[in-house]
Structure 1
Amino acid sequence: MSEKDQVLIALVSCGSEYAGVQKELENAASTLNAKLVYPEMDVASLDTIGMDFGLEVASPDLKLMMARAKAVVEGVAKVDGVFVTSCFRCAEAAIVRNEIRRYIFQNSGLPVISYSFTERTTAATLLTRLEALTTIARRKHLLAREHQVGITAGIDSGSTTTKAVVMKDDEILGEGWVPTIKVLESADSALQQALDQAGMKREDLQAIGTTGYGRLLIGEHLNSDLVQEEITLNTKCAVYLAGKQQGSATVIDIGGMDNKAISVQDGIPGMFTMGGICAGASGLFLEMTSKRLGVEIT
């Protein structure tokens, strides 16, 4: 990928250097041909920055976060997206992080993601979050499309289940759904289920797309035409099925190991947050708990 395709991401953070996460952020960005940008701001503005947000904080680092967010909105830093992050241990930072996310999204229209890190956060953990930002920047035209054309298949390799669907000209012809046991075998099985239901063979497919945690492995295995992270794809799928591709929408995705809340405008994700510290409300936890309680949740 050439340098001209490089995506610029404003990093609005607190504590990433002290927690040792800064290097992980840089490594994840480098993998995606993205560059982290640190917005310049007027130091004098730190004394009054709370007035812009209606939120007074004592921490100089949190004030710095707010000042950098304002610099992004004012166009001081020319970027394609914003990554807002702070340590999960700080309750005040969680409030500031949420306000910054809302402030940037409402006043700039830039895609923005919020995330709370731990001392153990790695580049691999950050990759999906940053990849979603780069996807929106690079593939906005694709996300804006409202109709499916031709014969295509999509495979979602999740942490607990693998799903597949075969479509033709906006119509779902076949579906497959199997537990994720062995990533490649589960993908082959789900795809075959969908093909059998559609009455087709793999040679009939004009294109294949993969997403989910196993997307890269399956993408190489099937020689996929499109490999894309699940945040943007699941969002597009949700608004497509709900008939909400125009206007504002909110998508809540409860996955096997994490949860996502995404604000959408005209089919394109704009502001999203993704859990990752605790799996207490994840799909797998809810599924196991419902079985123990004998409560149906599907």
Structure 2
Amino acid sequence: MVKIALVGCGVEYSGILKEVEKAALTFGAEIILPDIDLDYIEESYLKFGFSAQSPNLKLMIARAMSIVEGRTKADAVFVCTCFRCAEGALIRNEVRRFIQQNSHIPVVTYSFTEKTKADELFIRMEALVTTVARRSILAREKQEGLTMGIDSGSTTTKVVLMENNKVIGTGWTATKDIMESVNIAAADAFGETGYGWDDIDGIGTTGYGRLTIGKKLNAELIQEEISVNAKGAVYLADKQRGEATVLDIGGMDNKVITVNNGIPDNFTMGGICAGASGRFLDLTSRRLDVDITELGPLAVKGNYRNATLNSYCIVFGIQDLVTTLAAGGSKEDVADAACHSVAQQVYEQQLQEIDIREPLIQVGGTSLISGLVEAVSDILGGIEIIVPDYSQHIGAVGSALLVSGLGNRNNQ
């Protein structure tokens, strides 16, 4: 059983410890709490060198130190603090960085509320377990045979057909009925390839609908999108060796993943505010009466400084953009303001929690919005961002790649 060390503040008395344990157990993992004595707390705090006023945060630091120094044996670490505590947020990030810099143990961070439930933690726990238990699968660098990858997202369903390390077919449709959407996208992917369902060697699924689809299609691989997206990104960007950072601004949540030799070693997710997601850009394009594919080029021509946007909220943000248009503002400036608003929020909520390792690979459907890619680069000081071919199909590509070699269903 995979052992996940819980390094947090307030978890025990906030009432969410059982939820964390339940989430871990769902994926065959066990939560352990590093056992620390009082003398070691003070010793660790002095070594750590970061001031903390709360005794619970000092205990958190000591638990992190015990993992790094080998006193606590853990396969992965879950670092969390209450979202209400500003000091906790600082310590959480420093603890995460400390463990990463001084060990090879995968880490994930989380900001919890008193109402956090187990299912909200599923993807994080599954990703941690996957990184530990399926390391050999994640090390795969070449696709073989004929495989299908399915990414059932909150907004769209993507299907990719790969043969002998090449993408030979793709399909994309809006997610409505889960299986119907898969069949529509799969029909597009098969297209003129001459292949059908009976020819496929293996099927991999990811995304929100992965469990349902995997069960219906008897998929050989059912895997969360953190490891799958990371693998697909570095594969398509030809950055499977060395370090990289993957950014996926999705329709429901956002992911920032750091990768080392093709294997994710840290990530952060967000999904609290729709104003920081692709949903805001979709609403903006509708308000501007342009197709979402036109929003990027429109934004590149604009100047966000000319548009008033005083709120990050998706509701009030749209109202601000409407006000700008009513005052004679241009569509170009409004489009650019929307892109910069999303990019700024992603930076404040997530990119600051991660030590960005270049190159930065931007993926997902929003990576096709050139104005957003430019805005992210601008906020990060002008760094180069790679948007690989098939970036919008990243989860499906990752699934098709990883399922390769897990067995040929036609020989069973």
Pairwise TM-score range, normalised by the shorter structure: over 0.9
Q: 2:106 is matched with which residue?
A: 111
- Corresponding residue SS for 1:18: helix
In structure 2, relative to structure 1, the CA distance for the partners of 1:259 and 1:223 (3 Å cut) is: same
In structure 2, C-alpha distance between the alignment counterparts of 1:277 and 1:43, rounded to whole Å: 37
Which protein, 1 or 2, shows the higher relative CO under an 8 Å CA cutoff with sep ≥ 6?
A: 2
1:209–1:226 Cα contact (<8 Å) kept: yes
Question: How many residues get paired?
Answer: 293
Residue of structure 2 in register with 1:210 after alignment: 205
- Max radius of gyration: which structure? 2
Residue in 1 aligned with 2:263?
268
Give TM-score, length-normalised by structure 1: 0.94
The separation in 2 between residues aligned to 1:213 and 1:286, in whole angstroms, is 21
Aligned to 1:150: 145
Percent of residue pairs identical: 55
Q: Alignment RMSD, CA only?
A: 1.5
Alignment counterpart, residue 68 of structure 1, candidates 63, 70, 76: 63
2:50 alignment partner in structure 1: 55
Distance in 2 of aligned mates of 1:209 and 1:27: 26
Please state if 1:239 is matched with 2:234.
yes
Shift of 1:190: 1.2
Query: What letter is aligned with 2:295?
Result: E
Q: Does residue 189 in structure 1 map to residue 184 in structure 2?
A: yes
Quick one: distance in 2 between partners of 1:120 and 1:183? 29
1: CA distance between counterparts of 2:34 and 2:150? 38
Counterparts of 1:12-27 in structure 2, within 5 Å, are: 12-27=7-22
Q: Report the equivalent of 2:214.
A: 219
Aligned equivalents of 2:251, 2:102: Cα separation in 1: 33
Q: 1:100 aligns with which of 95, 98, 109?
A: 95
Deviations 1:156-195 (CA, angstroms, capped at 9, x unpaired): 0111111110000110000011111111111121122111
Give 2:392's aligned residue: none
> In the alignment, residue 162 of structure 1 is paired with which amino acid?
T
Instruction: State how far apart, in whole Å, the 1-side matches of 2:285 and 2:46 are.
Output: 46
1:296 alignment counterpart: 295
Give the counterpart of 2:31 among 31, 36, 55: 36
Cα separation, 2, equivalents of 1:78 and 1:39: 9
Deviations 1:254-287 (A, max 9, x none): 1221111111100000011111333331222232
SS of 1:110's equivalent?
A: coil
Residue 14 of structure 2 aligns to a residue in which SS? coil
Q: Quote the residue 1:3 is aligned against.
A: none
In 2, are the aligned partners of 1:9 and 1:34 still within 8 Å (CA)?
A: yes
How far the C-alpha of 1:120 sits from its partner, in A, is: 2.2
Give how far 1:90 is off. 1.1
Q: Comparing 270-279 with 174-183, which one deviates more in the overlay?
A: 270-279
Alignment of 1:164-175 (within 5 A): 164-175=159-170
Aligned-residue offset at 1:82:
0.5
Tell me the secondary structure at the aligned position of residue 168 of structure 2. strand
CA contact (8 A) 1:158 1:180 kept: yes
By percentage of residues, which structure has more helix?
2
Stretches of structure 1 that go unaligned for 5 or more consecutive residues are 1-5
Q: Please, which runs of 5 or more residues in structure 2 have no aligned partner?
A: 297-368, 370-412
Alignment correspondent of 2:385: none
- Tell me if structure 2 keeps the 8 A contact 1:14–1:62: yes
8 Å contact 1:166–1:194 — kept in the other structure?
Answer: yes
Alpha-carbon contact 1:246-1:265 (below 8 Å) kept = yes
The one-letter code of the counterpart of 1:149 is E
